[in-house]
A and B are shown apart, each in its own frame.
Chain A
Amino acid sequence: MEKFNQHHGLVVPLDTANVDTDQIIPKQFLQKTTRTGFGQHLFHDRRYLDNDGHKNNPEFVLNKPEYQGASILLAGENFGCGSSREHAPWALQEYGFQVIIASSFADIFYANCINIGVLPVILPEDTIATLFQQSKDNLQHITVDLVASTVKTASAQYDFTIAPFHKYCLENGVDSVGWTLNKIAKIESYEAQMPAWQ
């Protein structure tokens, strides 16, 4: 996993609550056996007018010329709800998003982001409302600093919280499986005391 310390980029505002993983990556694109090839299908049904993905929907915010190259997604509450498909954060990452900011995320989606090196940032609802307003009024480039756990806009700085181990893993690009395999003796001693039915 790539290390994540700080990121400066353009914000794209996707002002919808409860964006589910079916919207992020519809099921017809889940038939791959690789972790790549999902970015082009990100938000397919909202992004394209046709089923083949050739005709852009000009109304969809990601298609607006001014937001091309955006790498920070500003999203509505309960982002990533629904299916556990890791294909959703894979698609977001491959499209170019390194940070997703929302007032709340679904649990599985949040964990999936951490595990692949996309930073989910939780900020209070009123801060999110301010960021939405600013990003709609003017193009907004912001700096997300994981080390300091801050989001810096041109006019303000907001602190966010993240679990210490999540932060450590992102900052150091930790191979979480390798990390746990170093604790195999502890796993073995747990297994040795389990009841027969377990």
Chain B
Amino acid sequence: MATTLYEKLWQSHIIEEKADETPLIFVDRHLIHEVTSPQAFANLKFHNRVLRHPERTIATMDHNISTRSIKIDAAGEGAANQLRTLEKNCKEFGIELFGMGHKNQGVVHVIGPELGLTLPGTVIVCGDSHTSTHGAFGALAFGIGTSEVEHVFATQTLRQTKAKTMRIEVKGQVAPGISAKDIILAIIGQTGSAGATGYVVEYCGEAIERLTMEERMTVCNMSVEFGAKAGLIAPDATTFNYLKGKDYAPKGEVWQQAVEDWQQLKSDSEATFDSYLTLEAKEIKTQVTWGTTPGQVTQVDSVVPSPEDFTDPVERESCIAALKYMGLTAGTKITDIAINKVFIGSCTNSRIEDLRAAAAVAKGKKVSATVAAIVVPGSYRVKEQAEAEGLAQTFIDAGFEWRLPGCSMCLGMNDDVLTHGDRCASTSNRNFEGRQGRGSRTHLVSPELAAASAIAGHFVDLTSINSQVQGA
């Protein structure tokens, strides 16, 4: 029978599937961090249970650390307690930890791939919803709660209800200057914020195949923002070339065998999905969110929508509430919206290619006097590379603050928070009310647009500027 990539991954991880029980699947890799693990460790100890596979568990510090200092205490008392608890637990249970100052430290969804911990054909979980990022490699990867973290600690398995399948095809090629962030925001704009709840989504089509691994991660990262359990992209030569030689990737004969197996990881041409969505890549334009869910998104050359634009009563009500919270008036040109903060970072857009794209825009320019902008690399390795390539200096010269790796302002668990009324162009993944600070207003954008907005002090239509330059 023809099967989808998801069904192949599912089938290869089933331990037990019975009529009266939720299926039990094996977990290959468990990534943990300081915020969602302490209660799981505590319960494990309370029940006097062992951690089944410490060697399949990797820990990092990312969510609430300071981006100004590698000192644990710089994060504040509560955060420092969580970070020290993680250190203690990792030591006690024999888990490898990339703590502050470690060369492998960074945002969990940045370091997994860059270290080769993320492999095709595996099941990867983490107590963080953006675990969907790792689906870019053809891994079944999803976020879990703390009770499930405990379950994985003790058993290396999880109980999972089988999801429905959705295929999202992006046909043809995107126009120059259109980023992976624009592709995924355009997809979410079509599906709405819960359009894929209960589904595992597979992205395919020429525009997806042409993406680099880092771009594919940006796409899969935001799968959860339209409700998907996970996002998948079939592994191909791009995937294998990226992984080859990475620290934790298989080597020698095992690598050869792995690639042979991974080449089978794709949906059969005859396979059917429960749902389909098709986008024409050439129609995708630069995206900016205007509301308080990622699905409330439009094109940069467009205007803030009006509640009357929505026929669905729930969407209309959500639009009214969002415009009020965001302090926006329907009909305002997106490029007329002034911003005073810029955040370039997060597990969506903090990898080296993201920083190169933003630096290319910022090079030789100055951040507007009305804007405070920070750049937070996704990992220590990204930071080192960006400094070696001169990107960090480009940012600093332009007036951006160059910080240490961490989740930072994406969720504002540390002191990188916005204050009431701040309006931020952010390369992160969530524009929820209060996400980056109480009363703050977040607009999700690509790294290129974030950098350009920092310089202009408002959103700008980069493609229009570029075409004018070319036409001149």
Contacts and interface: CB of A to CB of B under 8 A. Distances in A.
Contacts of B412: 27-28
A143 to B, nearest CB: 26
Interface string A1-29: 00000000000000011101011001110
Interface stretch (A58-66, A134-142, A148-156, A181-189): A181-189
Given A22-B430, A106-B227, A112 B121 contact: no
A115 B148 contact: yes
A187 B15 contact: yes
A20 B433 CA distance: 9
Contacts of B35: 30-31, 85
Interface in B1-26: 15-16, 20-22, 24, 26
B155 A181 contact: yes
Contacts of B142: 108
A116 B149 CA distance: 13
Contact of B193 (A18, A183, A194): A18
A140 B148 CA distance: 34
B108 to A, nearest CB: 12
B161 A163 contact: yes
B385 interface: no
Interface residues of A, number: 57
A78 to B, nearest CB: 4
B145 A112 contact: yes
A108 B85 contact: no
Contacts of A31: 35, 64, 76, 78-79, 81-82, 413
A121 B455 CA distance: 49
Contacts of A76: 314
A166 B23 CA distance: 12
Identify which of A83, A84, A116, A178 gathers the most chain B CB atoms within 10 Å of its CB.
A84
A184 B413 CA distance: 38
Which size class do B's interface residues fall under?
Answer: 35 or more
Contacts, number: 182
Contacts of A106: 194, 197, 227
B434 A165 contact: no
Interface string B129-145: 10100000000001111
B438 interface: yes
Contact of B317 (A17, A181, A198): A17
B438 A104 contact: no
A198 B13 CA distance: 11
A107 B197 contact: yes
A107 B78 CA distance: 29
Nearest to B230: A107
A155 to B, nearest CB: 24
A84 B144 contact: yes
A33 interface: yes
B411 interface: yes
Nearest to A1: B147
Given A31-B82, A33-B42, A22 B145 contact: no
B430 A180 contact: no
B261 interface: yes
B119 interface: yes
Nearest to A79: B194
B413 A78 contact: no
Contacts of B36: 84-86
Contacts of B224: 82, 108
Contacts of A51: 438
Interface string A170-198: 00000011101101101100110011111
Interface stretch (B212-220, B250-258, B395-403): B250-258
Contact of B194 (A33, A35, A77, A85): A77
Contacts of A130: none
A45 B28 contact: no
Nearest to B25: A190
A131 interface: no
Interface in B175-217: 193-194, 197-198
A192 to B, nearest CB: 12
Interface string B255-286: 10110010000000000000000000000000
A190 B193 contact: no
A4 B317 CA distance: 35
A115 B159 CA distance: 11
B466 interface: no
B261 to A, nearest CB: 6
A82 B434 contact: no
B296 to A, nearest CB: 10
B293 A18 contact: yes
A100 interface: no
A123 interface: no
Given A26-B434, A31-B413, A115 B197 contact: no
A81 interface: yes
Given A18-B293, A108-B144, A180-B157, A33 B38 contact: yes
B47 A107 contact: no
The 6 closest A-B pairs by CB, nearest first: A31-B78, A197-B258, A115-B147, A112-B145, A33-B38, A86-B145
19 contacts: A22-B434, A27-B412, A27-B413, A30-B35, A33-B38, A33-B39, A35-B146, A45-B438, A82-B430, A82-B432, A83-B411, A85-B35, A108-B143, A165-B21, A176-B151, A177-B43, A181-B155, A187-B155, A198-B28
Interface of B: 15-16, 20-22, 24, 26, 28, 35-36, 38-39, 42-43, 47, 49, 52, 64, 76, 78-79, 81-82, 85, 119, 121-122, 127-129, 131, 142-148, 150-151, 154-157, 159, 161, 193-194, 197-198, 224, 227, 229, 250, 254-255, 257-258, 261, 293, 314, 317-318, 321, 411-413, 430, 432-435, 438
Given A89-B145, A107-B197, A176-B147, 10 more contacts: A18-B293, A20-B430, A23-B433, A31-B81, A34-B38, A83-B128, A180-B157, A187-B156, A187-B157, A197-B258
